Homo-oligomer: A and B are copies of this chain.
Amino acid sequence: MENRTIDTRERILDAGERLFMAHGYEGTSMRQITGEAGVNLAAVNYHFGSKESLMQEVFRRRLDWLNEERMRVLHEMEAEAAGKSLKPSQIVDGFFGTLLRMAGDENRGGMTFLRLLGRTLTEPSEFIRAFLAHEYQAVMDRYKEALFKALPEVPKAEIVWRFHFMLGATSYAIAGTDALRLVTDWQIEDEDSTDRLDRLVPRLMSFLLGGLRAPLPQF
């Protein structure tokens, strides 16, 4: 009784994760999901109640760990700093680096989940937006606080904007492993895909930090 259920649930979540990533929420049907998972059509409604609930569970399975890990890393860094303010690079790495390193961890969804997350942040159905906002708010607030403290001379509004820009650059960098083709094609020849992921992190970090520390715009 135990193994059948867990297997079925897990298989559905895996298939949903992959298909939602590839075709979006509306673009993925229950029949595709159950077909790919190799389970009966009714299994989704039996185990999750509805398509919406399945989508939420797909996210929760990964985000719970990610958010806890981000919190843990931040607390750890702050403890180590012993009252002194953190370096912006530490904070950026705690938030975005932790996210990006998920891509290499197949047990935590790997690239698939990251791409799903990236694309979902810009295509939110109402119920997804509400859900993500709820799941993210606390962590986001804590990291913004940390940035405020790390950059006391920068107006808070500017920091919030730049945090937002960083999110966009990161989402897109991940979501666009295919969309990348739109911008690249031949230009990047000499890297296989594992190489590419390993190098993406420092590349993106440099870019994010450069943007975060750029001179303030004069209005």
Contacts and interface: CB of A to CB of B under 8 A. Distances in A.
Most buried by B among A124, A161, A184: A161
Contacts of A191: 157
Copies of this chain present in the complex amount to 2
A97 to B, nearest CB: 13
Contacts of A180: 164
Contact of A125 (B27, B124, B132, B199): B27
Interface stretch (A10-18, A101-109, A207-215): A207-215
A132 B182 contact: yes
A219 interface: yes
Contacts of A170: 168
Nearest to A158: B203
A173 B168 contact: yes
Contacts of A140: 182-183
Interface residues on A, range: 35 or more
A146 interface: no
A140 B178 CA distance: 16
A215 B179 CA distance: 26
Given A118-B122, A168-B169, A210-B213, 6 more contacts: A24-B24, A157-B190, A160-B188, A164-B183, A166-B169, A169-B172
A208 B211 contact: yes
Nearest to A119: B122
Nearest to A123: B123
A173 B162 CA distance: 10
A160 B138 CA distance: 34
A202 interface: yes
Contact of A217 (B157, B171, B181, B202): B202
Nearest to A204: B165
Nearest to A161: B203
Nearest to A202: B217
Contacts of A199: 217, 219
A179 B212 contact: no
Contacts of A219: 199, 202
Closest CB pairs A-B (n = 8):
A168-B172, A210-B214, A202-B217, A26-B26, A211-B211, A207-B211, A169-B169, A165-B169
